[in-house]
Amino acid sequence: MSTALERDVLAKLKDRGVTVSSKLVSTILDAVAEVERERLASMKAGQRQLGRYLGGSRPFGFKAAADGRLIEDPAEQAVMRQMKAMRADGMSLRAIAARLAEAGTRVSHVTVQAIVNADGPRTVLPPGSGPRPSASIG
């Protein structure tokens, strides 16, 4: 799939009579795409360093602040403490998820497992550095 930049370069080259099948054009477009991927990866890494939420599934227990950072959600943090207490009392992961659903918080047993197995307080991790469970809330 071509990016807008690749399509723009391709259109300009076509206007100048350069054929699309040219190996040179293909090599140039590949290089442009690689530079664009690197630029986006660098930009996203910088945003992550600043603690900004870049979209996707947000970690349970956090919410996006107005400035884009992830901050603790007090209500969900309390639910996380309840999960750990229920697990310490011997409840199964699915039973915990079911009890929470009855109380109005829908969360999967996989999310419960990630939370109750976490050591210490849960922190926001950059993608790829550990499990980030998703949750279906509401």
Residue 93 near residue 113 (C-beta atoms within 8 A):
yes
Least reliable range by pLDDT among 81-85, 100-104, 116-120, 132-136 = 132-136
- Residue 75 φ/ψ, nearest 5 degrees: -65, -45
Nearest of 104, 111, 14, 11 to residue 62 by alpha carbon: 111
pLDDT in tens, 12-61: 877 887 666 677 778 888 999 999 999 999 998 888 888 777 777 888 89
Apex 117 CA angle, 113 and 122, nearest 5: 100
Q: Over the stretch 101-129, which tens digit does the pLDDT of each residue have?
A: 999 999 999 999 999 998 655 544 434 43
Residue 47's pLDDT is: 83
Helix axes 74-88, 93-102, angle to 10 degrees: 140
Average pLDDT over residues 75-99: 95
Higher per-residue confidence, 1 vs 50: 50
Answering whether pTM is above 0.85, one says no
Confidence of residue 71 (pLDDT cuts 50, 70, 90): confident
- Pairwise CA distance, residues 63 & 71, whole Å: 6
* pLDDT of residue 132 exceeding 70: no
